[in-house]
Amino acid sequence: MSKFLERAGTALSLTALLAAGVAFADDAAPEKAGGYGLGRVALPEEVAAWNTDVRPDGQGLPVGSGDVMTGEQIFTDNCAMCHGDFGEGAGRWPVLAGGQGSLENKDPVKTIGSYWPYLSTVFDYVNRAMPFGHSKSLQPDEVYAITAYLLYLNDLVGEDFTLSNENFTEVRLPNEANFIPDDRPTTEYPIFSADACMDNCKPTVEITMHASVLDVTPDTATAADTSGEGSVELAQATTTEPATAAEPTPAPEPVAVAAAPELIAAGEAVFRKCKTCHQVGEGAVNRVGPELNGLVGRTMGSVEGFRYSNVFTDANAAGEVWTVDALHTFLTNPRQAMAGTKMSFAGLRDPAEIDAVLAYLQSVGG
């Protein structure tokens, strides 16, 4: 017997041994008759606090209602900065409306109207996960109103429509019938369980597509400092270049006049309302809103790379500057002070909160 066959035989017997199930100790954790008696019974109000989920048959819907017009206002204030005024989606944020008839296209647009099977999913998701960064803050009537508005944006109801726990299950989404259960066991597994070819499987091979043509791999895919002389050039030729894009903005030096620590701490707490959309401090970058380093004294609409609303583009052209007074006016009622701003934040009514948040911004971002 040749050496090769001897080795092949050894490999085979080991495989058989493993197949016999001796590979891993797995004595199951024991059940105990009558249970372990651990934990405690949940109080009804504890279950009620968390048990907010809603099913397609309406189980779990709270009592309440909301109409399209109310929903439009709530959506504009809380959702439009990411999803767009008409659910069209800003940047890469999810598109919520439109797309009907696109599911067989090369680039399907999957929205509530074109794709989602059940309206209960909209209510359940908005109620548990939205608004992004301040979830579980909406009242049931507000969630009904937003859901009604999303139906309106998808041309599924008229502008006079009111959605409530009473009529909820009457609304059906158009794509419900197009979902099928996982059918891989019949459509794929038989095909993909055929004997695999090992030799002469095809006459020739050609490359039909190169990833480097698209060139969408992040610049930092490999180490900047690769050891091994030959490899550096190779790696760079295919994947790496010195990182240039998305450099975080360095934080300016702290200002000389320091605010009281208590005021700064209070401002940090206030800033929680802002930080879903704004960053400040070292490494701050633009998100839904522009980064806020050096805000006080900065020209309005001046952060590079941020797509401002027209009102700020105009203010920038006019050389308007963010003074403490201007910030007070703006933050008290943003949409009144700068009509047309994309910033949907309702405002800080208490001037002391504005002083605190400005002190915080200056303490970390200059």
Q: Which of residues 206-225 bind another protein (CB under 8 A)?
A: 206-212, 214, 216-218, 220-225
Between residues 111 and 362, which has the closer beta carbon with respect to another protein?
111
Q: Which residue has the tokens 């895919």?
A: 221
Work out which of 1, 2, 184, 257 binds another protein, going by CB under 8 A.
184
- Residue 345 CB, nearest distance to another protein (Å)? 17
Are 301 and 289 in contact, with CB atoms under 8 Å apart?
Answer: no
Longest dimension (CA), the chain: 93
- Give Cα 81 to chain centroid, integer Å: 13
By CB under 8 A, tell whether 129 contacts another protein.
Answer: yes
Q: At which residue do the structure tokens 């372990």 appear?
A: 36
Choose which of 1, 4, 5, 40 interacts with another protein (CB under 8 A).
40
Distance between CA 76 and CA 346 in Å, rounded? 11
CA 249 – CA 298 distance, rounded (Å): 15
Q: Which of 1, 5, 158, 193 binds another protein (CB under 8 A)?
A: 193
Subset of 271-300 contacting another protein (CB under 8 A): 287-288
Site for another protein in 153-182 (CB under 8 A): 178-182
Within 132-151, the residues that bind another protein by CB under 8 A are 132-133, 135-136
Q: Which is nearer to another protein, 262 or 282 (CB)?
A: 282
Per CB under 8 A, 63 contacts another protein: no
To the nearest 10 degrees (0 to 180), the angle between helices 140-153 and 119-129 is 130
186 binds another protein (CB under 8 A): no
Cis ω for the linkage preceding 131 (within 30 of 0) = yes
Site string for another protein, 65-104 (x = CB under 8 A): -----------------x--------xxx---------xx
How many whole angstroms separate alpha carbon 78 and alpha carbon 61?
22
For the CB of residue 337, give the shortest distance to another protein in the complex, in Å: 26
- Pick the stretch among 147-155, 227-235, 256-264, 334-342 that binds another protein (CB under 8 A): 227-235
User: For residue 289, which of 212, 241, 344 has the smallest C-alpha distance?
Assistant: 344
The two three-digit tokens of residue 68, written as one number: 């399209």
Q: For residues 291 and 278, is the Cβ–Cβ distance under 8 A?
A: yes
Q: In whole angstroms, give the CA distance from residue 164 to residue 143.
A: 10
Site for another protein in 109-128 (CB under 8 A): 110, 112, 115-118, 120-121, 124-125, 128
Rounded CA gap, 289 and 283, in Å? Answer: 15
For the record, the structure tokens of 59 come out as 């189980």
Closer Cβ to another protein, 117 or 347, answer by number = 117
Q: Does 319 bind another protein (CB under 8 A)?
A: no
20 binding another protein? (CB under 8 A) = no
For position 247 contacting another protein by CB under 8 A, the verdict is no
Task: Please report how close the Cβ of residue 363 comes to another protein at its closest, in angstroms.
Answer: 23
Instruction: Assess contact for 273 and 357: CB atoms under 8 A.
Output: no
Is 352 an interacting residue with respect to another protein (CB under 8 A)?
A: no
